[in-house]
Amino acid sequence: MPNRAMEFHDSTFDRVEQVGADLALHFSAAYIHESEGEAGVDAGCGWVQELRLHISDASLNEQIPALPCKLRDGSISLGDKQFENVVPIPLDYRGRVEVTLENASKLTITGTSLRVELCGPPKYVEEFPGQ
């Protein structure tokens, strides 16, 4: 199976759903790289797909931006491991997490776990030549 990762840049972030202390960050069109090598770096293809990032025991440090919005950048920290602009797929991590989303402003969410949920069918966008 090829390697996959969501790229924050070029993804559309459209809503935040709250259930108790947990948040789901909803992306109506998450840009997903797929490659036999390193997703987002090596040659492969690009898809868009609806996606949710589920964060347990979530805490926001800023106001949620006007939604929907196209993201310029983002990052996640899983314990002491940092991912710049990408989220590996699949992902179900338990431990300290920090998610940062950037457009005109920056939104940072911290929590105790992070799970990626792919929703709906993927739609092919393009071939990616690699960096």
Dump pLDDT digits (tens) for 46-92. Answer: 999 999 999 999 999 888 888 999 999 999 999 999 999 999 999 99
Contact 76, 101 (CB under 8 A): no
- Whole-model pTM? 0.93
Q: Is the pLDDT of residue 33 over 80?
A: yes
pLDDT of residue 119: 96
Closest CA to 115 of 96, 84, 89: 89
pLDDT of residue 36: 94
pLDDT of residue 27: 98
pLDDT of residue 98: 98
pLDDT of residue 64: 86
* Both structure tokens of 55: 């964060």
Q: Give the pLDDT band of residue 104 (cuts 50, 70, 90).
A: confident
* Both structure tokens of 40: 């987002």
pLDDT of residue 108: 96
pLDDT of residue 61: 80
Q: Rounded mean pLDDT of 16-45? A: 94
Q: Checking DSSP bridges between strand 92-102 and strand 73-78, what pairing results, if any?
A: antiparallel
Q: Rounded mean pLDDT of 17-21? A: 94
Q: Is the pLDDT of residue 1 over 80?
A: no
